[in-house]
Structure 1
C-alpha cells in the first residue's frame, strides 16, 4: 500500500518554478489584496484581519515545495545520467527503475505523473500525458524471468477501466511470446531491454554501452507462458496423462501455467 502523502509531498510533484509563482502570488494576495477588500460582513472582516499575518506561512510552504521539487528533479537527472548500460539499469531497485523510466519520458516531452501506487507487484506506475493523450505505464524490472501474458492482461484491464488512450509495459528484460501476441492483438506497447536501450539513447547525449545483458535472458521454452517464471519438470499423478512428464510453473499453486 502506498504511503499517504502530505501536502508538501503533493506540492513537490509540481514544477519548482510553478511553486515559486504560487509563493509570490499567495503572499501578494494575503498581504495586499485581502486587506484592501471592503465589506460589512463581520466574519469576513475577521478573516481579512487574520490572513495577512499568515502570508509568510503559505509563501514558505510553497518555497519549501519548490526546493523539494528542484531536488527531486536533480536526483532523477543524476539517476538517469549515471546508468551506463542495460546491466546497470537492471540493477536498479523497482522504485529507481520507475523513476528512471519516468525521466526518459520527461525528456521525450511527456508530462509524467508518478503515482506511487504500482509497487513491486503491479498497478499503474506512471501516467504520461501529451497532446491530449493519456498513457498508463507499468514498469517491471525483472532480472531472472520474463514478463508473462497475465501481466499484460492486467494492464489491458487497467487501460480499459481508466479510459486511457493506451498502455505501455516496460521491462529491462524480455516478454514471453504469449505476452507479445496478446499485446499485438490489443494494441498495448511492450518495451523490452532492446527497445528500452533505443528509447534511452534517443534522449541521452552519450549512448548506453553495449553489454551482454540480453544474451543472458533464459530461453522462452523454459519459462511459464502465464507469468514468465521458471518452469520445473513434473510428473502427472492423475487424469488421462497420469505418469507423463510436463513442465509446470515453479510458482504452483499460485500459478498453474504448464508446457507439455
Structure 2
C-alpha cells in the first residue's frame, strides 16, 4: 500500500535511511562507499579491448561508481542523522507526556503526530510517518504489524470534539487500501456520533486522557491506558517484565483483551497471559 507521492531517488534514499535505526543507516553508508569505491578503482579499458557497446557500458558504470562512492554514503549518512534526531525528539516528547498532565496542550500538531508514532512504536508496531497526511485522506501515520497495516489519523484539537466525519473518512481510506485496522487519536474528546460509528468496526478511537494513560504505562509511571480499575498487572511468564493490557485486532479473539509483555517493542518478547 503506497500512501506517499513519488519522490526523487536522493530523497528516497534519505527517507529510507531515516526510517531505519541510525546505526543501520550508517552501516549502509559504509557498505555503499566500500562497494562503489572498489568499482571506481578498477582500470577502465580502451575501445580496442572489445566491442564498442561493452566499452560504453563499462564507461557508464565507471562514471556512476566514481560519483556514487561519495553521493550514496552522503545520502545514507544524512538519513541516519535524521533518524537519530527523530528518535531523540520522539523520546523527549514521550517523556514529557508521561510526566506532565498538560503536555498535549503544549505541543504543536507536528509534535503530537511524532508522539503518537512513538506511542505505537513502543507497542511493537513498525511506524512510518506519512508526512502530515496531505491528499491521503488525512492519514498521518502508517503502522505495520504481523496481521497487516493500520492507518492512523491524528487530531490535535484542544477545544473542539472530533466528530463523525473524520472517522468516516478514515474508514473509507482503510477500505480503499485494504488496511487491517485504523486509529483516530485526538488530544481532546470524541462526540457520541463518532463513538457510535466506530462501534463494531476495526476502528479504535483514542482520546487525550486515554493516550496519556497509555504513555504513562509505557514509561512505567501509571496504569495501562485500558486497564480497568482494580485489575492487578501480572509479570511476563517469558521474561518477568511488567505486562500491559492489549486488545486483539484480528482472528478468532478479535476484540478480546489480553496481557502482553511490555518489552515486545524492545526485545520482541511475545509473552502473553489471559485476562482473568
- The TM-score, its normalising length taken from structure 2, stands at 0.66
5+ residue gaps, structure 2: 224-276
Pairing partner for 2:199 from 180, 184, 187? 184
3-state DSSP of counterpart to 2:218: coil
Task: Give the whole-Å Cα distance in 1 for the aligned partners of 2:176 and 2:43.
Answer: 47
Task: Give the whole-Å Cα distance in 1 for the aligned partners of 2:188 and 2:215.
Answer: 15
Task: Give the whole-Å Cα distance in 1 for the aligned partners of 2:14 and 2:29.
Answer: 16
Change (3 A) 1:183 1:31: same
Query: Are the equivalent residues in 2 in contact too, given 1:31–1:51 (CA < 8 A)?
Result: no
Aligned pairs, number: 205
Task: Give the whole-Å Cα distance in 1 for the aligned partners of 2:159 and 2:60.
Answer: 61
3-state DSSP of counterpart to 1:147: coil
Task: Give the whole-Å Cα distance in 2 for the aligned partners of 1:19 and 1:155.
Answer: 33
The reply on whether 1:70 has 2:78 as its aligned counterpart is no
Change (3 A) 1:20 1:37: farther
The reply on whether 1:173 has 2:188 as its aligned counterpart is yes
The reply on whether 1:61 has 2:61 as its aligned counterpart is no
1:89-238 superposed matches below 5 A: 89-118=104-133, 123-207=138-222
5+ residue gaps, structure 1: 209-260
Out of 69-78 and 56-65, give the one that drifted further: 56-65
The reply on whether 1:22 has 2:37 as its aligned counterpart is no
* Post-superposition offset of 1:57: 2.7
Match of 1:10 in 2: 15
Larger Rg computed on CA atoms: 1
Query: Are the equivalent residues in 1 in contact too, given 2:14–2:76 (CA < 8 A)?
Result: no
Instruction: State the superposition RMSD in angstroms.
Output: 2.8
Deviations 1:31-71 (A, max 9, x none): 22566699941122213433443212322221222122111
> Following TM superposition, where does structure 1 have runs of at least 4 consecutive aligned residues deviating by more than 3 angstroms?
33-40, 205-208
Match of 1:43 in 2: 56
* Post-superposition offset of 1:148: 0.7
